[in-house]
Structure 1
Amino acid sequence: MGIIKAFTGAIGGTFADQWKDIITVGGFDEHVVVSPGVLKSSNNGRGTNFYGSDGIISNGSKIYVPENTAAFIFSQSGIEEIISEAGGYEYQNGQESVFNEDKVGKAIFGQIKDRFGYGGISSDYKQIAFVNLREIRDIKFGTKGAQVYNDIFYGTDLEIFAYGSFTIKVTDPVKFVRNFVPANMTFYTFDDQKVRAQILAEFLQSFIVALNSLSNTYRVSQLPSQATAIAEIVANDSNNAGTWEERFGFKLVQVAIENIEFTEDSRELVKQYSANKMNLIAYDDVSEKASNIAAQQKIAQGIQDNGLGNMGGMVFGMNMAQGLNPTNAEQRSTASSIDDQIANLKKLKELVDAGILTQEEFDIKKKEIMGL
């Protein structure tokens, strides 16, 4: 074995004092998944500097693997070792180093001679790179063509465009480096279109499967709230994205739908549906009002035929129409009941017939009782 473990976890205590010059990862941004090792020097607590050739290691090289990262050592012939546990290590299987208690002449001149034989590159040239084991977030996607979605609310097929992002995570660095990362790569990022092309194509195939499975349950407008369900369906698709972990050592973690857009034809279809719906509501409202008016007229006619004569029938018919109108709720609450009005007017009519009240006085009192 070329790797000797010194400690696990973060550097601390006596190891921090002893390991002044170590090779570690320079840093990852949001989409970088492989980054070369850099030599980090600490000068008695006065700060740190990165220097030296990226990722080149030799006998005695000290390596620090931070949390949530893995490291792999490789040469031109392929991958030699992969370190998947955070901690400090020492490499003891590479080319000789002047810093490893070797003679200066033997180390330097031996390498010069060897490099001449390999076009300036040593035959045992070793490098180290680090794999990001944190979530790789906000990988954007968008459907290139319109997708058909059978919306249960509209009861028809609608064409839509979907846009959003998804998150992946490396779960098996060994499989990831061997099966997904090209040979001898020390830097790899999902910002590179060539890197994204394959997983985007497979993701979209699985995403379409998810849309089809949800169309029997959810409306188009509900899809953004079903991101978790979509992620589960995509991650379990046995033909595309669901195979990533087995094939490449990374898996889908989450999906976020940012926008759903109709095609122009589907947008017009939805507009027409909405217009028809509004027309139907308006028609139903008019029909209901017409039915109320007809009922009111029948009530008025009944009072006229069987009540207090022509004048009384017309008066009670008008008041009944007002009482049945939903917009006159406040008037109904303040006026006397129909029965009370009828009883009072009958008494007044008897007084007119007896000559006690004049017709003019009756008309005045009638208006008061009826609230006219």
Structure 2
Amino acid sequence: PVNMGAQTLMTQGRIKNKSGFSSSDIISNGSCIHVYDNQFMILTDGGKIIDYTAEPGYFIVDNSSQPSLFQGQFKASLKDVWERFKFNGSSPQSQKVYYINTQEIKGIKFGTRNAINYFDSFYNAELFLRAFGTYSIQVTNPLLFYANGCPRNATQVDVPDINEQYLNEFLEALQAAINQMSADGERISFVASKSSTLSKYMADALDETWRDLRGIEVISVGIGSISYDEESQKLINMRNQGAMMQDPTIREGFVQSAVAQGLQNAGSNPAGAGAAFMGMGMGMNAAGGFMQSASATNAAQMQYQQQQYQQAQYQQPQYQQGQPAEAPQGGARMKQPGEWFCPECGTLNAGKFCMNCGTKKPE
């Protein structure tokens, strides 16, 4: 081969003699063609295929015999393609040799130009993401690729030469694959770790246009990073913060942090600490009932959780060696003195306001 690089799909062979490469690319009868590993050699005449081999080694051109057609690892998959594209003319006049790279070609970069919509059932919302990464392809039917995937009269084809068309088709299939993952219920935060699943979806989406028409397949897709648009990121942050606030310990820390931040802001007020604290005092008087109730509710819930834990530990049956264990007695927990059920949502509370919806305790 003239030049078979890491991103090369097809290159033309050149004649080499004792003094180096010949200026002529015409292969004569009796020539010896060297085929390396992971290469598929095609012998053509006037653009039509007259012979090929998928087996590494030395190939002797013999125009007086039938085509060799060494299938290698491709075996019978090339038979139908050969019948469509084989040479049916007279004696060969202008023979040339081409090499197809059958090794996996890695590191082809991609990035979504526009955000892709993704419905996440966990957040119960339509989110929008952008994906960046690399993918790899492999020529799985060299005869199809030579006939339908290579530009006419090209002596060498590298990935950048055909990347624009292929990238557009790849991104279209990527969107379909990501939408399929959404339909299957995958969380949006797991997309980057589902490379094998995404590769399978991509291969299925591109089978008709890539594998069946051009003889290439997507082998792997690696997501380097996932980013969200501004509105999606705000929604995710809000939902995550809401989930954290279900913990009474975190809620109480948030209340105390808000009070401390207010004191700090008052001390740094350029209008004077006295005026700032006066205004802050008025605000705290107005909101004091809610703040105290919130802290009381948090404390009651934390105390209740601690009591439940201690009670479970205390009631855990102790068995003596050799005695059979008795089945624990189940039952619903009774409402304790001072506790009340919220008339709006039914949550059990111990403070003045419902810890779930904020409804005030009935008088």
TM-score range, shorter chain: 0.5 to 0.7
1:178 corresponds to which of 130, 147, 150: 147
Q: Deviations over 1:139-168 (max 9, x none)?
A: 111112110011233221111111111111
2:180 corresponds to which of 213, 216, 226: 213
Letter in 2 for 1:38: R
SS where residue 4 of structure 2 aligns?
Answer: coil
1:58/1:176 CA distance change after superposition, 3 Å = same
Conserved 8 A contact 2:15-2:27: no
Which aligned runs of 4 or more in structure 1 are off by greater than 6 angstroms?
Answer: 292-295
TM-score, length basis structure 1: 0.56
2:168 corresponds to which of 201, 209, 233: 201
Q: Deviations over 1:11-37 (max 9, x none)?
A: xxxxxxxxxxxxxx2442221011121
Work out the CA distance in 1 between the residues paired with 2:160 and 2:210: 19
1:263 corresponding residue in structure 2: 229
TM-score, length basis structure 2: 0.57
Q: Deviations over 1:277-328 (max 9, x none)?
A: 4555469844785148679xxxxxxxxxxxxxxxxxxxxxxxxx9xx999xx
Work out the CA distance in 2 between the residues paired with 1:34 and 1:241: 21
Conserved 8 A contact 2:244-2:250: no
Letter in 2 for 1:218: E
Q: Deviations over 1:173-218 (max 9, x none)?
A: 11111121123322001122xx122322222222212211212422
Letter in 1 for 2:102: L
Structure 2: runs of 5+ lacking an equivalent: 65-91, 253-292, 311-363
Conserved 8 A contact 2:251-2:298: no
1:69 corresponding residue in structure 2: 39
1:236 corresponding residue in structure 2: 204
SS where residue 252 of structure 1 aligns?
Answer: strand
1:150 corresponding residue in structure 2: 119
Higher alpha-carbon Rg = 1
1:84-233 equivalences under 5 Å are: 84-93=54-63, 124-192=93-161, 195-215=162-182, 216-233=184-201
Conserved 8 A contact 1:76-1:184: no
1:250 corresponding residue in structure 2: 216
The reply to whether residue 29 of structure 1 matches residue 5 of structure 2 is yes
Q: Deviations over 1:247-285 (max 9, x none)?
A: 111211111111111112222332333444455546984
Identity %: 29
State the number of aligned residues: 238
Structure 1: runs of 5+ lacking an equivalent: 1-24, 43-48, 95-122, 296-320, 330-372
1:57/1:159 CA distance change after superposition, 3 Å = same
Conserved 8 A contact 1:244-1:250: yes
Conserved 8 A contact 1:163-1:259: yes
1:178/1:293 CA distance change after superposition, 3 Å = closer
Work out the CA distance in 2 between the residues paired with 1:191 and 1:65: 25
Conserved 8 A contact 2:248-2:298: no
